[in-house]
Chains A and B, each alone.
Chain A
Amino acid sequence: MFEAALFYTFSILAILAGISVITRRNAISSAVSLVASFFCLAAMYALLDAHFVAVIQILVYAGAIMVLFIFVIMVLNVREELEEGWDLTPRAIAGAGVGGVLGLTTLVALTAADGGPSAELHEGFGTIQQLGYLLFSGQYLLPFELVSALLTVAVVGAVVLAKKEL
């Protein structure tokens, strides 16, 4: 099955890029790995019939948000971290412990879960038209408007914080 093979390939690439994000010492390398991970996730969204979400993923995440990150890294000119890779600092032990416990719990929960066969998709699933109906006339109208208010507040907040003198 071609699509399933594609899905697994992009899954593995996304996970590898994700691991690369948290292991690179240089912040720019992390940012580039994160962009790679976002592109793989966009491909997975497309394979899961979420076409509009896939496009938005590339536009908003890989485009806008990552440009913001890289811009800030360039402006700050952050020096590379001096810490040595993965020695047994208390922080690393705590991180590995919490990660291990959480991973074990998730594994148990996942093996116990059985969703049954997937539903048949109706016509136009994942298109911008259907999503538009849901967002503008369905039950998500109020959250949608609240998100626009949140974005306005965030813009004002970011300007107030980052500007030297108002």
Chain B
Amino acid sequence: MESVGLFPVLAVSSILFLTGVIGVLTRRNILILLMSVELMLNAVNLSFVGFSRHLGVMDGHAMAVFVMAVAAAEAGVGLALVMLIYRNRIDVDLDDLNLLKG
């Protein structure tokens, strides 16, 4: 197709990334926090693909595939940790996880 140009792609990508950042900073539910991280990773993927389309080289696609693999690994280990925390504390509220606080 005719390209939409670089600017709209980067604008959408940065808005999604910002949404993820605000989600990480404001929510207390650890599951929603992990979902916000996934949202940020997707925003980065979108800008990789956008740059790839703009420059006409496919390196961005390779990077997007790598990001997805890392995101899958992160989700697996992160959710295992959530299960572990929940088993020990019966809660997923981040404010209660202050064991390491001095």
Contacts and interface: CB of A to CB of B under 8 A. Distances in A.
Nearest to A49: B53
Interface of B: 1-12, 14-16, 18-23, 25-29, 31-32, 34-36, 38-39, 42, 45-46, 49-50, 52-62, 64-66, 68-77, 79-84, 86-87, 92-93
A64 B71 CA distance: 11
A72 B83 contact: yes
Contact of B76 (A53, A75, A154): A154
B2 A4 contact: yes
B92 A103 contact: no
Contact of A22 (B26, B56, B70, B76): B26
Contacts of B27: 22
Contact of B75 (A4, A24, A68): A68
Identify the interface centre among A7, A15, A38, A53: most chain B CB within 10 Å of its CB. Answer: A53
A65 B31 contact: no
27 contacts: A7-B4, A14-B12, A18-B39, A21-B23, A21-B35, A24-B32, A37-B39, A44-B9, A44-B12, A48-B53, A50-B60, A56-B65, A56-B68, A69-B79, A72-B31, A78-B92, A92-B26, A98-B25, A118-B53, A118-B56, A130-B58, A134-B61, A143-B62, A150-B70, A154-B76, A155-B76, A162-B84
A22 B17 CA distance: 12
B29 A15 contact: no
Contacts of A31: 35
Given A99-B18, A151-B69, 9 more contacts: A8-B8, A27-B31, A53-B64, A56-B68, A60-B72, A64-B72, A69-B31, A95-B25, A134-B59
Interface of A: 1, 3-4, 7-8, 11, 14-15, 18-19, 21-22, 24, 27, 30-31, 34, 37-38, 41, 44-45, 47-50, 52-53, 56-57, 60-61, 64-65, 68-69, 72-73, 75-76, 78, 81, 83, 91-92, 94-96, 98-99, 102-103, 106, 110, 113, 115, 118-122, 125-126, 130-131, 134-135, 138, 140, 143-144, 147, 150-151, 153-155, 157-159, 161-162, 164
